[in-house]
Structure 1
Amino acid sequence: MRIVIGGQLGKQEIEQCIRSLNLPGVEVEILDDMQATMDIQSGRADYYLGACLTGGGGALAMAIALLGYGKCRALTEADEATIKAALDAGVKAFGFTPQLTSQVVPLLVGEMAGRK
């Protein structure tokens, strides 16, 4: 499973959080928003994560423009049911605030990895 990181803030922190999970088969790469979204669109990556001050603006703007709103979700809390429902609905791009990284990323990536 390949996760690309875009967004405006905290890219390195998101990457470090994912790597610290030590999940087998999980690859992670920091890209600019356009390339990250195009990798999702083309199938070269499975999921996009990004952070910004609101969790839905700069984190997801390019993803919403290229993938459509239905494939994107801003997360406002680390809620397992919300994350599962979003993944069940086919969401591929997730945005959140940098303050939520340590709570959201382990839940989100753990659930993603369990589906691959």
Structure 2
Amino acid sequence: MVKIVIGGQIDKQQIKEDLEKLAGDKDVEITVKSDLDAAMAIQNNEADYYIGACETGAGGALAMATALLGGNKTETIASSTKVYGDEEIKNSVENGKIAFGFTINTKDRILPILAKYLLE
């Protein structure tokens, strides 16, 4: 089972609902938490992946995860200046990134790609 926590600052419940639809019948547990509790769940091995959204893709989405997990475990996959494509997201997951942040306006583009690689 893959365990995903939703942190960040914006539309957490909507991100959860979208991920549940994308997961289909895959064995996944998705939980909404505060950004601190979500990052701590990853740190304490209670969850596998962290996902967060905000207006910049890094600040409110990933600040706490970066502080607790380190920058080598986090990745901003969509910001106001750059939106990762399929291959870049795949590489992030394969290279050990476990916490992902994005701008909320890219949610419909980013989540399907991210879910594909997190739930493989």
What is the TM-score with the length of structure 2 in the denominator?
Answer: 0.91
Q: Does the Cα contact within 8 Å between 1:78 and 1:107 map onto a contact in 2? A: no
Partner of 1:39: 41
Does the C-alpha gap of structure 1 residues 78 and 20 become closer, same or farther in structure 2, counting only changes over 3 Å?
farther
Give structure 2 stretches of 5+ with no counterpart: none
Q: Does 1:26 align with 2:32?
A: no
Query: Aligned partner of 2:101: which letter?
Result: G
Partner of 1:86: 92
Task: Give 1:100's match in structure 2, choosing from 93, 102, 106.
Answer: 106
Give structure 1 stretches of 5+ with no counterpart: none
CA distance, structure 1, for counterparts of residue 4 and residue 46 of structure 2: 10
Partner of 2:68: 66
SS at match of 2:60: coil
CA distance, structure 2, for counterparts of residue 5 and residue 33 of structure 1: 8
Q: Does the Cα contact within 8 Å between 1:23 and 1:113 map onto a contact in 2? A: no
SS at match of 2:93: helix
What is the TM-score with the length of structure 1 in the denominator?
Answer: 0.94
Task: Give 1:57's match in structure 2, choosing from 50, 59, 63.
Answer: 59
Bigger shift: 63-72 or 12-21? 12-21
CA distance, structure 2, for counterparts of residue 23 and residue 109 of structure 1: 13
- Give CA deviations for 1:20-66 in whole Å, capped at 9, x if unaligned: 11141011010011111111111110000000000011100000000
> Would you identify which runs of 4 or more consecutive aligned residues in structure 1 move more than 3 Å?
none
CA distance, structure 2, for counterparts of residue 73 and residue 96 of structure 1: 9
Aligned pairs, number: 114
Does the C-alpha gap of structure 1 residues 33 and 69 become closer, same or farther in structure 2, counting only changes over 3 Å?
same
